[in-house]
């Protein structure tokens, strides 16, 4: 009888790759852990307290993909993670879990003294839960929305997201909110709450418009801005559209498909979403010349350290991209507070090390003083 490796041994091996591997190894480990299903949840939960940021973000990808109820508890733990990107990604994942415990955790962040970016992330995740039918998600949103002492930008973000949600918020619920807000002391909020004759596009309609062939860069930018106003509810629609294009480097290598892929990545980066990081890294690695500027803009805006190796490889293989890659790296370094000795930088392949050092110096020159 053949000897079959134990499941627990395989899980520990994959967790080790999450902790110490480069981006490609982590992506492979994420896929392997996801395939093992619910049995990985408890080992993942034990692994998280000592894991670094990159490993915690990778673990979040696994938890987000697992539909098992047990995966909710570690997501709830990570919502209050001290690391900002980890906490925001956990809230984004909770936005896809229409369960009362998810709403309570997000409501706690929204009502608490958390940084503005976390409170906005919690609000947008609550809007997604409300759109999915979780009635408990609406009360904390309405409380922030109607509080005249609340930060104006947060109230505007909540209102825009509620008005843009799919399916639409029931008129019997939305109209009383709009009547109260139309009398707000904040002029921007009051103006947004007043009736308009403009018929809004559905999210699907905006995404379809974004990827429509032959559109100008200005038209794409306008549609991206409209999607950004929709907030977190736009993320799943963009992700589905990206999945329809197939894997990077696959059959969808024609110019329209590449432009569509780049436009989706820029829109997701504008929404500060990292759900398609793997696709962004793999697409940059293929270096599609026509859309590389857009992809590198997205890389800089999303600002994730796992992009450092692919930027280095790009410069190693084609130095013409040095300046554009340097701008992206400068943004990543600023956001992630990277040093040359950071894990993301150490994961650069030895054969790309010279290009990385060149890129690092160019990025230093590109950063504002």
Confidence (pLDDT) at 6: 59
| Average pLDDT rounded to a whole number, residues 171-185 | 87
CA atoms within 13 A on the CB side of 199: 1
pLDDT value at 200 more than 60: no
CA atoms within 13 A on the CB side of 369: 1
Q: What is the mean pLDDT of the chain?
A: 88
| Average pLDDT rounded to a whole number, residues 22-30 | 87
pLDDT value at 346 more than 80: yes
Alpha-carbon separation of residue 121 from 48, 74, 94, 153 (angstroms): 22, 18, 10, 13
Confidence (pLDDT) at 3: 41
DSSP state of 350: G
pLDDT value at 1 more than 60: no
Helix, strand, or coil (residue 198): coil
Alpha-carbon separation of residue 258 from 221, 247, 251, 252, 263 (angstroms): 16, 11, 11, 7, 9
* Cβ atoms of 125 and 106 closer than 8 Å: yes
Task: Name the pLDDT band for 195 (thresholds 50, 70, 90).
Answer: low
Task: Give CA–CA dist 286/317, Å, rounded.
Answer: 11
pLDDT value at 4 more than 50: no
Residue recorded with tokens 């100008």: 216
Residue recorded with tokens 């007043």: 194
Confidence (pLDDT) at 184: 87
Q: Which residue has the higher pLDDT, 62 or 169?
A: 62
Confidence (pLDDT) at 368: 52
In degrees and rounded to multiples of 5, residue 363 shows phi and psi of -65, -40
Rounded percentage of the chain residues whose pLDDT exceeds 90? 61
The domain limits of the chain are: 7-168, 202-279, 303-369
pLDDT digits (tens, 9 = 90+) for 142-167: 999 999 999 988 998 898 888 878 77
| Average pLDDT rounded to a whole number, residues 343-354 | 94
pLDDT digits (tens, 9 = 90+) for 230-243: 778 889 999 999 99
Task: Give CA–CA dist 17/25, Å, rounded.
Answer: 6
CA atoms within 13 A on the CB side of 62: 35
| Average pLDDT rounded to a whole number, residues 88-111 | 95
| Average pLDDT rounded to a whole number, residues 302-313 | 95
Task: Give CA–CA dist 187/333, Å, rounded.
Answer: 37
Q: What angle do CA 31, 251, 302 make, to 5 degrees?
A: 55
pLDDT value at 261 more than 60: yes
Task: Give CA–CA dist 354/333, Å, rounded.
Answer: 18
Rounded percentage of the chain residues whose pLDDT exceeds 70? 94
* Cβ atoms of 84 and 115 closer than 8 Å: yes
Confidence (pLDDT) at 144: 95
Task: Give CA–CA dist 348/316, Å, rounded.
Answer: 11
Confidence (pLDDT) at 145: 94
Confidence (pLDDT) at 194: 75
pLDDT value at 252 more than 90: no
* Cβ atoms of 190 and 196 closer than 8 Å: no
What would the two tokens of residue 147 be? 């509080």
The second-level CATH assignment, the architecture, of 7-168 is Alpha Horseshoe (1.25)
């Amino acid at each position: 009888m053949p000897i079959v490796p134990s499941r627990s041994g395989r899980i520990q091996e994959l967790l080790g790759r999450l902790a110490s591997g480069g981006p490609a190894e982590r992506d492979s480990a994420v896929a392997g852990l996801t395939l093992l299903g619910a049995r990985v949840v408890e080992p993942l939960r034990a692994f998280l307290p000592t894991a670094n940021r990159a490993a915690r973000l990778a673990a979040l990808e696994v938890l987000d993909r697992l539909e098992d109820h047990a995966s909710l508890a570690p997501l709830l733990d990570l919502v209050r993670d001290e690391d900002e990107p980890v906490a925001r990604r956990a809230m984004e994942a909770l936005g896809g879990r229409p369960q009362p415990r998810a709403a309570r955790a997000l409501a706690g962040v929204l009502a608490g003294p958390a940084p503005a970016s976390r409170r906005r992330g919690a609000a947008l995740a609550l809007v997604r839960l409300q759109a999915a039918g979780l009635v408990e998600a609406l009360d904390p949103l309405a409380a922030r929305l109607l509080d005249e002492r609340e930060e104006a930008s947060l109230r505007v973000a909540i209102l825009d997201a509620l008005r843009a949600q799919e399916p639409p918020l029931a008129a019997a619920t939305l109209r009383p909110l709009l009547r109260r807000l139309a009398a707000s002391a904040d002029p921007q909020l009051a103006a947004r709450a007043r009736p308009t004759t403009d018929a809004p596009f559905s999210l699907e309609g905006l995404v379809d418009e974004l990827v429509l062939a032959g559109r100008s860069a200005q038209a794409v930018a306008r549609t991206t801005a409209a999607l950004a106003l929709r907030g977190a509810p736009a993320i799943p629609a963009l992700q589905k559209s990206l999945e329809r294009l197939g894997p990077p480097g696959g059959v969808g290598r024609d110019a329209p498909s590449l432009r569509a892929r780049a436009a989706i990545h820029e829109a997701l980066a504008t929404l500060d979403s990292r759900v398609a990081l793997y696709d962004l890294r793999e697409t940059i690695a293929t270096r599609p010349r026509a859309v590389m500027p857009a992809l590198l803009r997205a890389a800089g805006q999303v600002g994730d350290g796992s992009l450092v190796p692919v930027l280095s490889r790009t410069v190693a293989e084609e130095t013409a991209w040095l300046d554009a890659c340097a701008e992206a790296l400068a943004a990543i370094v600023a956001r992630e507070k990277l040093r040359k000795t950071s894990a993301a930088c150490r994961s650069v392949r030895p054969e790309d090390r010279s290009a990385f050092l060149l890129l690092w110096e160019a990025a230093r020159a590109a950063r504002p003083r």
